[in-house]
Structure 1
Amino acid sequence: MWRNPSESFAAVEMKYFARHKGEVNSCTFSPDCQILLTCSDDCRLYIWNVRSGKLVCKVKGHTGPVNACCFSPDCTLFASASYDCTVRVWKTATTECLHILTGHQKSVETVCFSPDSRQLLSAGWDQTAILWDVQLGCASKTFSGHREVIQSCSFSRNGQYTATGSWDYSVKVWDLRNECKSKTLEGHTGNISCLCFSVSGMLASGSWDKTVRVWNPRNGALIFLLDGHSGWLKSLSFSGDGILLASAGYDDTVKVWDCENGKCVQSLEGILEPAYTCAFSPNGTLLISGPIDQSNLLRTPP
């Protein structure tokens, strides 16, 4: 496992996954790191074998660009959010569509599972976030309060909090154990485009203002302001141990930050195109980036 922030990606093996027919909008590893799931503007999801790099299958069903995808923590399901205003839940083993979740009035931009795999959160252009019961395939709660598009959402690792990031420049943290408690995190000067929680409970937000902010979501305190990108932020990912944070954006780089001191320890270049998405594998040994050029670049640290 790659744990030392001083280690370099300079001499790593790189693998390309290039069968998409549209921009790559999201990518994620299965919990066992055997499968890579990606989605694209071509209305499809792609399932890849990580070790071989071969395309296993294309998953069809959405009638619009697929904006986001994620695996359930128990790996039995994966979910996708689309411009067609729906969220779909699929069985990992068979790629059968289990549920088509309808309730959003406009494009759905983001989706994530709860840590126990029983709930799903989605949000988008209708300025609302919907919490779904995965087993029943129905909505259980709707969160309102943002004034603009919600582009990102995330569950805390303990399942107590969800967070939503909006084009109104704010992040909202919702306490699922106490519906009356919510916090609004302010400070960004641009649209919030990406969010993620670390295993230790930190919350990172990336923005069109070219910065990453790392927060304590319980009290709303700012821990770090990470300033180093020269373009809009598009994707964030904490390593499984919470020590590292990867950020990708429109400046043709993926940056890796040390979450103990807020310093940038690596700036990964050679992508040639803006990196729409990045993700650490659950075991921390791989970092994936999805460029705008319809392919994915897999980097394996030494």
Structure 2
Amino acid sequence: MARCCSQPQRMAACMAGRPGVGSCCGGCTATQVGRRCCVCPVSCHLSSSPDPGLVPAGHQRSVETVSFSPDSKQLASGGWDKRVMIWEVQSGQVLRLLVGHRDSVQSSDFSPTVNCLATGSWDSTIRIWDLRAGTPAVSHQVLEGHSGNISCLCYSASGLLASGSWDKTIHIWKPTTSSLLVQLKGHVTWVKSVAFSPDELRLVSAGYSRMVKVWDCSTGKCLETLKGVLDVAHTCAFTPDGKILVSGAADQTRRQASHTTKSPRATQT
């Protein structure tokens, strides 16, 4: 569950791994309930069982991923029925039904321009869906290279795409050319969360383990391995200024670390 800003039309993309988009101020929540995606207003003190203000129904099986578009007007959802649905947030109406994955859809993220949606699946592929007005709903690219479930996806501000997988690797892609720019290896378990720094020089990742890694995006070199998490690190993110990264773990604690290490590319400029 993610708490976002107060106006429904400006709900931030917190669940898409973009802490810098909008402000997380406790105005609304997005969560998954069975086969439904719920978007509901909440007070500053969250109720244990809030009444949903909007309950779009349409998936045939469990919903595994939801993400808001950067302009907060659309919500994408995907799940075990292998389908991706794009909803209009204000009305709850289905705008598009995207079909093509051969297995459960596990991850998703909108591009910064809202022209594309990236989805990752247990079929080990990433699909880039063209959402521009007038294009067919079946129009997409397929990015192949992982050998396991695509467990997390994250766009950078300039449109690069990072994907983490059960194959223990991270790929950084240039979707406009379907090019794999760099492969990051070093996690000993599957990758659970990835996030770009605001300057896109670094990427932070959390594996299904007690460590968080910081990478140089251009070389693929691991700059730091941060330990001290008492349990599995489920998520990670940079602050908007890129100076601090935060991770959340199953031990119900939050780890915060100042990060001033410069990448080799930054040092040379």
Please tell me the TM-score bracket, short chain as reference: 0.7 to 0.9
Q: Give the counterpart of 1:275 among 233, 244, 250.
A: 233
Pick closer, same or farther for the CA change 1:101–1:195 going to 2, 3 Å: same
For 1:163 and 1:239, the matched residues in 2 are separated by 19
For 2:241 and 2:57, the matched residues in 1 are separated by 34
Alignment of 1:131 with 2:81, yes or no, is no
Moved more, 288-297 or 77-86: 77-86
Per the normalisation by structure 2, the TM-score is 0.81
Pick closer, same or farther for the CA change 1:211–1:155 going to 2, 3 Å: same
Pick closer, same or farther for the CA change 1:154–1:194 going to 2, 3 Å: same
Q: Give the counterpart of 2:63 among 98, 102, 108.
A: 108
For 2:216 and 2:37, the matched residues in 1 are separated by 34
Moved more, 218-227 or 94-103: 94-103
1:122 corresponds in structure 2 to 77
The structure whose residues are more often strand, as a share, is 1
Alignment of 1:286 with 2:255, yes or no, is no
DSSP 3-state at the match of 1:102: coil
1:229 corresponds in structure 2 to 187
The structure whose residues are more often helix, as a share, is 2
Which 5+ residue runs of structure 1 have no aligned equivalent? Answer: 1-25, 31-36, 39-67
Structure possessing the higher relative contact order (Cα contacts under 8 Å, 6 or more residues apart): 1
DSSP 3-state at the match of 2:31: strand
Pick closer, same or farther for the CA change 1:78–1:172 going to 2, 3 Å: farther
Which 5+ residue runs of structure 2 have no aligned equivalent? Answer: 6-12, 261-269
1:255 corresponds in structure 2 to 213
Deviation of the 1:74 alpha carbon? 4.0
Count of aligned pairs: 243
1:7 corresponds in structure 2 to none
Deviation of the 1:288 alpha carbon? 2.0
Q: Give the counterpart of 1:84 among 21, 34, 53.
A: 34
Deviation of the 1:298 alpha carbon? 2.9
2:113 corresponds in structure 1 to 158
Moved more, 86-95 or 201-210: 86-95
Alpha carbons 1:258, 1:265 under 8 Å: kept:
yes
Superposition pairs for residues 176-187 of structure 1, below 5 Å? 176-177=131-132, 178-179=135-136, 180-187=138-145
Per the normalisation by structure 1, the TM-score is 0.72
* CA deviation string 1:130-183 (max 9, x = no partner): 101011122111111111111100011111110000011000001111335311
Opposite residue 176 of structure 1, the aligned amino acid is: L
